[in-house]
Chains A and B, each alone.
Chain A
């Protein structure tokens, strides 16, 4: 069964946004978007990225946001899920349609 990577990059992006809210100064618009994602039903299941995962995501963001989201959903998701198990549980919940995707 093919797993849609769209859910994956959404979940990884939410953990990235939650971490950004913690220690990186953001523009008001970014902050508003991050708060919206964090407050969503799926966002409440996801923990903020840890230091290593956040460093990886920042590396990926150097390629541009579009390419970074591709990496979040494909190559990086397994690694990020090892570092932050809430990603996998949120993915399972979203994929079984128990939680709506924002």
Chain B
């Protein structure tokens, strides 16, 4: 009996290439933000950092993914594009990118302040006065004063209403009706304030 497997054709299996996962060196005294900490691996963190290093434009996500060691050396561009797209739209990655955005902007503030300082130090600079104004606005903010005058006048209509109500009360008293014993019409208790 001959079986089909008696002379099997051995298919050459491609050996998988082991790629060392990138490890981001710890810098003493620094730590990741919450969103970066929440990423599963250092490769993901490397991808986020690479997004800020690659040239913006078409293929930037793929370049960042390659820099972060995603994919295999012989991965096709289509495969890498898929990997990069999934990474770039992952909620955890997006949260980390948002966190990094704020950090990068805050990190540039010393340079911005230095540039303003240079503009102030150079009176011939085109932006000298603007820089001086920026600093003064922050040191001595523009003060605004609001004068609010609250005045309460008893308008003639209110006075007339009070007089009419008084006459009505008098008529009711003559008819033997005690107005004070009637149920109140308004659910508030007036409080007399002492004159200040």
- A75–B177 Cα distance when bound, in Å, is 14
Encode B175-188 as 1/0 by CB contact (under 8 A) with A. 10101001101100
CB contact between A63 and one of B164, B179, B186 (< 8 Å): that residue: B164
The reply to whether B165 and A52 contact each other, CB–CB distance below 8 Å, is no
The reply to whether B167 and A79 contact each other, CB–CB distance below 8 Å, is no
Q: Nearest residue in B to A76 (C-beta to C-beta)?
A: B168
A71, CB-defined interface residue at 8 Å = yes
Residues of B within 8 A of A78 (CB): 182-183, 185
The reply to whether A67 and B161 contact each other, CB–CB distance below 8 Å, is yes
B38, CB-defined interface residue at 8 Å = no
B72, CB-defined interface residue at 8 Å = no
A83, CB-defined interface residue at 8 Å = yes
Q: Which of A63-99 contact B (CB under 8 A)?
A: 63, 67, 71, 74-79, 82-83
Residues of A within 8 A of B175 (CB): 52, 83
B-side interface residues, number (CB < 8 Å): 17
B136, CB-defined interface residue at 8 Å = no
Q: Which of B144-196 contact A (CB under 8 A)?
A: 157, 160-161, 164-165, 167-168, 171-172, 174-175, 177, 179, 182-183, 185-186
Task: Identify the A interface with B (CB < 8 A).
Answer: 52, 55-56, 59-60, 62-63, 67, 71, 74-79, 82-83
A-B contact pairs, 22 of them (CB 8 A): A52-B171, A52-B172, A52-B174, A52-B175, A56-B171, A59-B164, A60-B164, A60-B168, A63-B157, A67-B157, A67-B161, A71-B164, A75-B168, A75-B185, A76-B168, A77-B185, A78-B182, A79-B168, A82-B172, A82-B177, A82-B182, A83-B175
